[in-house]
Amino acid sequence: MGQNVKSSERLRPVDLARAHGLSTQAIRNYEQAGILPAADRTPHGYRTYTPLHARALEAFLALVPGHGHRTATAIMRAVNEGAAEEAFRLIDESHAQLLDDRRTLRAVENALRALVPTEEVPASGETFIGPLAEQLGIRPATLRAWERAGLVRPRRDPLTGYRVYDGAAVRDARLTHQLRRGGHLLEQIAPLLTEVRSAGGLEPLEAALRTWRDRLSSRGRSLLTGAAGLEAYLHADG
């Protein structure tokens, strides 16, 4: 894949770097990470690149906004190692995550519309810090940090001292998690949750949810742009 470029044109690391406002060290790092195919060397040991490497770099930079640096790196490494199915699996995971985030946004909007401040949460809905952290894909330390910031309010079991998260605390943890993923700072989230607790309803979060929705749309467009860049690299012919 992406290995049928026949151009004999040779490019220096600085040629690739300047075209994208990068440093030559970044180009070397990308090659070492497997983002770029291995470069040829001159008799004096200098790296030489080709238009294929330029296409690889363009593909990687197109993938980063939608997939993130780590996943984009893994995608390019898989492609360069001939593991196309692994690359496609990683791409599918990013799309699945975006779809899940859209569903979560919709669920949050619906939940907030129906939220009643005095809502009683059944004991069967309680959970502990470990299972909740695992469910959210975060560390227990993160939940403790949110608690210190006043975002999540678990109670303490009087016998064991363990944190117990009822339905309201789980709701607050989920909202905090999603708003953090949407780029909001803890100090921005705190007043939103205070409003949700005291007033109930969607209005206090409308601006944040609108921003969140816009971010999801932007990520969707970025995934399309990344796919186009990768497709160009996979079919590079010089």
Residue 186 confidence (pLDDT) above 90 = no
The two structure tokens encoding residue 67: 């997939």
- Which residue bears the tokens 């075209």? 19
Distance CA 168, CA 147 (A): 13
One-letter amino acid of 170 = V
The mean pLDDT of the chain is: 85
Beta-bridge partners for 128 = 164
Q: Is 44 exposed, middle or buried (0-12, 13-18, 19+ CB in 10 A)?
A: exposed
Least confident segment among 8-17, 20-29, 223-232: 8-17
CA-only gyration radius of the chain, Å: 24
pLDDT of 82 reads: 93
Rounded to 10 deg, the angle between the 24-33 and 51-67 helix axes is 80
pLDDT in tens, 35-58: 999 988 888 888 899 999 999 999
pLDDT of 204 reads: 59
pLDDT in tens, 91-138: 999 999 999 888 777 766 765 665 444 343 444 568 999 999 998 999
Provide mean pLDDT across the span 5-21: 81
Provide mean pLDDT across the span 13-32: 93
Count of C-beta atoms within a 10 Å radius of residue 230: 26
Q: Is 232 exposed, middle or buried (0-12, 13-18, 19+ CB in 10 A)?
A: middle
Count of C-beta atoms within a 10 Å radius of residue 186: 15
Residue 8 confidence (pLDDT) above 70 = no
pLDDT of 119 reads: 41
pLDDT of 178 reads: 79
Distance CA 178, CA 124 (A): 24
pLDDT in tens, 53-88: 999 999 999 999 999 999 999 999 999 999 999 999
Q: Which of 70, 120, 109, 123 is nearest to 209 (CA)?
A: 109
pLDDT of 174 reads: 85
Residue 21 confidence (pLDDT) above 70 = yes
The two structure tokens encoding residue 89: 């699996």
What is the value of pTM for the model shown?
Answer: 0.65
- Which residue bears the tokens 């470990």? 130
